[in-house]
Every structure is written in structure tokens, then in C-alpha cells.
Structure 1
Amino acid sequence: MGGVIRLRIDFGYDGGAFYGWAKQPALRTVQGEFEAALAKILRLPADDPRLRLTVAGRTDTGVHALHQVCHLDVDDAAIAACVGHMDVEPVEALRRRLTRVLPSDIALHRVSVAPEGFDARFSALERTYVYRVCDAGTLRDPRMRGFVLRVDDALDVDAMNEAAAMTIGLHDFGSFATPNPGGTTIREVKYAHWDRVPVRPLVAAGPDAVSDAVAHYVTPTAESGLLCFTIVADAFARNMVRSLVGACLRVGTGRRDVAWFRGKMAEPKREGESGPCPPQGLTLEHVAYPPDDRLAARAEAIRAVRTL
């Protein structure tokens, strides 16, 4: 008799043409495209509940992911049927078929049998997001407009980092986020910092003919000069990262001071000045999990509602 296997799926996507992760009627979403591809491969109805993916973190409309994780519970017989004429293991056969069927703005990294106790959402220890900004004085690269926010002002990075430092620790981010029904805006931020990417050459100087040929023009790496906000937390509430970025940018342009940001942290109350900035600059970069023997315990602990 066959059983059910839990699969871990690692992937990324360009969020520009998606209305976020979560499946919605008549809208193109990452979950909708992924589950449609699985339905085709596994020969199941598109609305079959067995296709439902559980994701590490839902991203909003226009937000990207370099490294996203989800899990799927599927009959081992359905996976075995993916092999066909291929001389590979069933899970590898599923990965190959998914790679061919998924649209080009979703990149499949890995499909594997999940260890016991693994839950893509609740087992996660932390998520890392990066928000990229091109401000005044930085060369604008039009090719990167899909995942970099353009800001016409010169930004005060020291002031922005003074504000960002206030977010580290366990806080109620009610000024910057919207809770889910029955949820909370209390989160633990482990790292938050703005950094300017150095202008680095693509080809290092050296004694060889190639480096001599480019000596008169140093080709920069693609992200050179960008201002990047990296934030790591156990989890994020809806709109939390983009709202924090928006508030930092108000401080960085001098429209608001650090004391204003401190007040927003002290009094968790939503108002118009701490709304989210545009989505295209935001990317989910990484999801971290504990060792296999601690996955189930982590999932159980994180299900509890956070309190200060």
C-alpha cells in the first residue's frame, strides 16, 4: 500500500508579473502557477486539495524571491508515475518535469524528500529580506528597474541606520504592519542594517592581457553603488518590511527625523506616514531552518501567538 511523502521545494521568482504568492481567482500568482504545473504533471484536477502548497512566507504583489521554500504532501505512487521513460529516481523525475512546465519567471532550485517534522512555514528559524535602492549620485542601470527602487534624493545612511537599529529585538511592529486575523504584529528582528554596495570592478586588475585591455575602463559589477537594507527576523507581518523601508527613507531624505521613527516604535499605531514603499525593491533572499532533529519542536513552538 502506498503512502504520502512530504516534499521540500526550493525555488525563486521574479515577482513583477505576479499578484503575490497566494492563489487568487482570475489573477496570476506564484502559488497558482505552481499548483497548475503540479496538476498537469501529477494528472490531478487543478482544485484538488492534495496540490495545496505550504510556503515559508507569503510575498505581496510585485515582491521577488531569490530563495523561497514550500512543502507538498503527495502520494508516492503519483511521484513514481513521473518517471516514465527516464532512468532517474521519482523525485528527480518530478523536478525535471516541473522545470520544463513552470513559467520562465519561476526558477526551480531543488526538490527533495523533507525530513521528519519539516514544515516550510512553521519550522523556519528566520527569513532574510533585502530592499535595494538607487539614490542620487548612483549610476542608474535601467536593466535593474524591476528590482531596484529609484530615489531622486541623496540619502543620509547614518540616520537611516540609527532608525533601523531601533527595530532589533522583540517589538510590536503595529506602526509598520497589519496583523492577520487572530494574529499579532509582534516580531523578533535579529538584524537590520543599510549598506552601500562598493563600486567593484567585474574584471580585477592584473598582469594578463585581458585586464590590460580594460585598464582604461573599469567595468563595474551590476549592484555597484546601490543602497541595500538587509533585515532578518523570525517572521514578518504583512507589509512590515516595505513599511520599515518607507519610514527609513523618510528619515534618510530629511522629511522626518530619528525621533519620529522612535515614536513610531514606541507607539504601535498605523497611520499614513508609515505606509509601505513600492514592492519592486524587495526580495526574499533566504529562509533558514534548524537541524533536522529540531524541526518538529520549532514548528510547535512558533505556532504559539507571540507576546512581548
Structure 2
Amino acid sequence: MARVRLDVGYDGTDFSGWAAQPGRRTVAGVLLAELEKVFGPGNPTGLTVAGRTDAGVHATGQVCHVELPDERWQALAPTLVRRLAGLLPGDVRVWAAREVPPAFDARFSALWRRYEYRVTDTEAGPSPLRRRDTLFWLRPLDLDRLKAAAAGLCGEHDFAAFCKRKEHATTIRHITRMSWRREPDGVLAATVQADAFCQAMVRSLVGAMLTVGDGRREPDWPASLLTRTERVSDVLVAPPHGLNLVEVGYPDEAEFAARAEQTRNLRGVPAGQRAAGTA
């Protein structure tokens, strides 16, 4: 079997998230079905993704890996992207497919994930061509207040206040980048980058900052919640359609295995604890 990395993009509007679910249309389900048409039923195995996006969340830089029969892969590698373009529906694209070392793990080898969230506070709302990936915010937003709120959230913290907690999983994460900018068309874009994210964490962070941007909360309010050990009910979870996974970062090939082992150890640390030397 050959381990193959797929770089994937999708419009999440009509999907029930990435992960396969019985009776629901998901990105993984659609992708695997078309891979089986090319490689045969049951031949693509071990489909693993860098970040499981929720229902309605988009991706332009998603990464996954899959195991494919080596002989068939070698024969189809030069044409696989074009073949999939003809098979996949219009809301899913495979940008690239290439063989990677067995030590590569799309999820655990990743160093960081970068998301962007788009929101407009213009009177007219989002452009009709961007309505599926841009939130319409009815209150005026102040860029300086958004930036001030973002500054207090960078670094390594316990983000339990912003996460849907999972049993035996840590809510400690390291945000390496949190910024806001206003585009020439008036759209505000938030960039959030971290080693990993808990479920609904990015949308909760954005929602908290938006209430600062429109003046309902003070800029230090989101950071003040980092002392909490449980999810805070009055934190707004921003709608999913404004969120897009834009890039996943990986180390050099020689470091794939070591990074995967380190990440597995970190994800097994109980909430409130952290192993030394982490990202």
C-alpha cells in the first residue's frame, strides 16, 4: 500500500461536516466514494484528516492521507487529480495528490492549523457571490477593539471556556497567531493559527471578539475567561459559514514520526496538565 497525501478544498454549506456519518452527506463520505470508483471498493483505507471541520465550515487548505494499492496508485498517480475532478461534485476539489512516507500522518504530524473568519458590517451585507462564506453582522465593528481583544488570547492557555469538552482530552492549546484586518471591500477577516483546536473553539473565540468589536463587551473580556475551567454559556458561537480552514503546516519529512508521537502524547494529557517541551 502507498500512503498518499491529498490536498482538498470544499464549500461546507451542504455538508454535515467532514467526518462520515450514516445517512448524512459529509466530505469524507463523498471523497471516499469517488476514490473507490477509481481504486475499487474497499481499496482506499485509513482516510485521515488534519482537522475535522463542523457542518457548514469551509476549507481551501485541508489535508488528508489515505492508503491506496501501490500498483494501482503508480499507474494512476499522473492523472488522479484530473480523474477526481470529473467525478467529484462541484463543492469538493482535490488540488493535489502525492505519495508521502509511511510516517506521515495528516492529523498528528501537523504543526499548526490556520483558519480565517470573514464578517461584514457594511449596510448592504455581503456580496451575493460571497454570501456563503461571509457573516453579515448588523452592528458596526471597530477594528481596533477587535485587535485588542485578539492580543489577549495569544499564547498557551486552557481554552475550556471556548470549547466543547471531550472526556479524557485536554483543552490546553497554543495560539501562535490571532489577528484582524479590514479588506478593501470593507470585509473584516480574522486569522487564527494554533497547534490544534477543540471543537467549536475558533467560532467561540470569534464570537466573543465580535461582541467586543460592536461595543457590548470590553476588550479584556475574552482573555478574562481563560481562568475558567468549564465552557462559558454566554460566549457567542459564531455561525459556521464564515469559517474557512486555509492552511495546515507540517515539519520536514525526517520529523514526521517524532511530531506525530509528540502530538499523540499531548492529546492524551488530561485537561489542566501539559507535558514539558510542547509546541
Q: Same fold (TM over 0.5)?
A: yes
Describe the SS at the equivalent of 1:36: helix
Describe the SS at the equivalent of 1:304: helix
Aligned to 1:16: 13
Map 1:1-308 to 2 at 5 A: 4-45=1-42, 50-80=44-74, 83=75, 90-136=76-122, 140-197=126-183, 199=184, 224-305=185-266, 306=269, 307-308=273-274
* RMSD, aligned CA: 1.7
Q: Deviations over 1:201-249 (max 9, x none)?
A: xxxxxxxxxxxxxxxxxxxxxxx22100001101111000000000001
CA contact (8 A) 1:160 1:194 kept: yes
Q: In structure 1, give the amino acid aligned to 2:255.
A: R
Name whichever of 13-22 and 251-260 sits farther off: 251-260
Offset of 1:138 from its aligned partner?
Answer: 7.1
Name whichever of 68-77 and 179-188 sits farther off: 179-188
Describe the SS at the equivalent of 2:60: strand
| CA distance in structure 2 between the partners assigned to 1:254 and 1:266 by the alignment | 23
Offset of 1:116 from its aligned partner?
Answer: 4.4
TM value normalised by structure 2: 0.91
Q: Deviations over 1:175-216 (max 9, x none)?
A: 10123332111110000011111x2xxxxxxxxxxxxxxxxx
Offset of 1:269 from its aligned partner?
Answer: 2.3
Describe the SS at the equivalent of 1:53: strand
| CA distance in structure 1 between the partners assigned to 2:210 and 2:34 by the alignment | 39
Offset of 1:42 from its aligned partner?
Answer: 1.3
CA contact (8 A) 1:160 1:251 kept: yes
The percent identity for this pair of structures is: 43
Describe the SS at the equivalent of 2:110: coil
Q: Deviations over 1:235-268 (max 9, x none)?
A: 1110000000000011111222224323212223
Name whichever of 258-267 and 110-119 sits farther off: 258-267
Structure 1's consecutive aligned runs of 4 or more residues displaced over 4 angstroms after TM superposition are none
Structure 2 CA distance for partners of 1:121 and 1:228, relative to 1, 3 Å: same
Structure 2 CA distance for partners of 1:99 and 1:303, relative to 1, 3 Å: same
CA contact (8 A) 2:4 2:65 kept: yes
Offset of 1:70 from its aligned partner?
Answer: 0.4
CA contact (8 A) 2:181 2:190 kept: yes
Offset of 1:288 from its aligned partner?
Answer: 0.8
Structure 2 CA distance for partners of 1:54 and 1:39, relative to 1, 3 Å: same
Offset of 1:125 from its aligned partner?
Answer: 0.8
Figure out how many residues of one structure are paired with residues of the other and give that number. 269
| CA distance in structure 2 between the partners assigned to 1:147 and 1:159 by the alignment | 23
Structure 1, unpaired ranges of 5+: 84-89, 200-223
| CA distance in structure 2 between the partners assigned to 1:302 and 1:228 by the alignment | 29
Q: In structure 2, give the amino acid aligned to 1:171.
A: H
Describe the SS at the equivalent of 2:265: coil
| CA distance in structure 1 between the partners assigned to 2:81 and 2:130 by the alignment | 29
Describe the SS at the equivalent of 1:303: helix
Structure 2, unpaired ranges of 5+: 275-279
Describe the SS at the equivalent of 2:161: coil
CA contact (8 A) 2:11 2:92 kept: yes
CA contact (8 A) 1:163 1:261 kept: yes
| CA distance in structure 2 between the partners assigned to 1:140 and 1:79 by the alignment | 43
